[in-house]
């Protein structure tokens, strides 16, 4: 069996060969250059935090505050940056932790038998902590 995204990549290439313009919203593989402002922001942040050690597990306070402010402007909600906002090292970690936010003891979790591994791993980790049924 091949990796699902490898098959998607083959289908995209086949579409391109046949003249289709493919807008890829799949697995992150940046091919366009970053905006100059993004590069300057990354350089500034790297310089500012070059010896700050590992970040907090829930994300920098500055980031969580900015995320809360953005959500207030965008959705008119005010999540508490100290108890309702976290950051993750990519979508895989977020998907893994999703059951911890939404599954309660006694709940059942359904997922496809062929699916993204973090769905199952996060749910099984949660089930070992409580009586959720996976």
What span, in angstroms and rounded, lies between the C-alpha atoms of 95 and 97?
A: 5
- Asked whether residue 114 is assigned to any structural domain, the reply reads yes
The total domain count for the chain is 1
Give the model confidence (pLDDT) of 18-70 as tens digits.
998 887 766 666 777 888 999 999 999 899 888 878 878 888 899 999 999 99
- Asked whether residue 107 is assigned to any structural domain, the reply reads yes
What span, in angstroms and rounded, lies between the C-alpha atoms of 22 and 49?
A: 38
User: What is the band of 132 on the pLDDT scale with cuts at 50, 70, 90?
Assistant: very low
- Asked whether residue 60 is assigned to any structural domain, the reply reads no
- Asked whether residue 42 is assigned to any structural domain, the reply reads no
Domain coverage including residue 109:
88-134
C-alpha atoms less than 13 angstroms from C-alpha of 102 in its C-beta half-sphere: 12
Q: What SS3 string covers 37-68?
A: HHHHHHHHHHHHCCCCCCCCCCCCHHHHHHHH
| pTM assigned to the model | 0.53
- Asked whether residue 67 is assigned to any structural domain, the reply reads no
At 123 the pLDDT is: 79
- Asked whether residue 113 is assigned to any structural domain, the reply reads yes
Beta bridge partners of 133: 108
- Asked whether residue 35 is assigned to any structural domain, the reply reads no
- Asked whether residue 98 is assigned to any structural domain, the reply reads yes
Secondary structure of residue 87 in the 3-state scheme: coil
Q: How does the average pLDDT of the chain come out, rounded? A: 82
């Amino acid at each position: 069996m091949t990796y699902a995204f490898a098959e998607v990549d083959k289908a995209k290439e086949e579409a391109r060969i046949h003249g289709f313009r493919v807008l890829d919203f799949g697995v992150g593989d940046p091919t366009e250059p970053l905006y100059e402002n993004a590069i300057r922001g990354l350089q500034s942040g790297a310089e500012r935090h070059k010896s700050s050690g590992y970040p907090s597990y829930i994300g920098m306070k500055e980031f969580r505050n900015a995320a809360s402010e953005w959500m207030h402007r965008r959705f008119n909600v005010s999540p508490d940056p100290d108890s309702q906002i976290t950051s993750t090292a990519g979508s895989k970690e977020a998907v893994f932790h999703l059951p911890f936010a939404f599954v309660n003891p006694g709940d059942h979790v359904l997922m496809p038998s062929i699916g993204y591994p973090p769905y199952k791993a996060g749910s099984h980790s949660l089930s070992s902590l409580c009586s959720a049924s996976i």
